[in-house]
Amino acid sequence: MKKALNKFGDVNTEAGYMVAEDVDDPKTGYYPSISTTIARNMWYNKEIVKPYSYDNNTDMILRQSLDSQRTNVLFASRSATDRYITIGDRLYRKVGDIAAIRKSDDKLMRYSVRGIYLLTPKLGINDDGNHIYEYVN
């Protein structure tokens, strides 16, 4: 697959531009949309998408759903590092990092970087252990 992706990145071919989405850069061979599609289809595979356990002490909820389930839609984590994680049967994608800084009298007391994770829709259908994937746009 890596060899095929490298060929997609070749500016002399049109293959990269045919599969590229707005976030992709075919000139450099950088295709985050492909990894997102794989993660959204293979969310149940613990080798591809790592399970994560929400930590009330170090993680911070930034937004919850307004329905009765109160699902964490957006949260900040100090300990999660993977680009995609699952919490239970929910898939989250890392969308950025923020720096948490605490100062007192212009002196830096504490500095930490926290990853921001967004609830992401899963793709495919799981029917009694049979998986039907959605890899084509």
What pLDDT was estimated at residue 92? 93
The rounded distance, in Å, linking the Cα atoms of 134 and 51 is: 22
- Sheet (strand 84-87) strand order: 50-51, 84-87, 90-104, 107-120, 72-77, 60-64
Compute the distance between CA of residue 134 and CA of residue 125 in angstroms, rounded to an integer. 8
Q: What is the pLDDT of residue 52?
A: 95
Low-confidence residues in the chain, pLDDT < 50: 1, 5, 8-12, 16, 18
What are the structural domain ranges in the chain? 49-132
Tokens at residue 103, please?
A: 């100062």
The span from the CA of 76 to the CA of 54, in Å, is 10
* DSSP 8-class letter at 14: S
Average pLDDT of every residue of the chain:
77
Query: How does pLDDT run across 63-89, given as a tens digit for each residue?
Result: 888 888 888 889 999 889 899 999 998
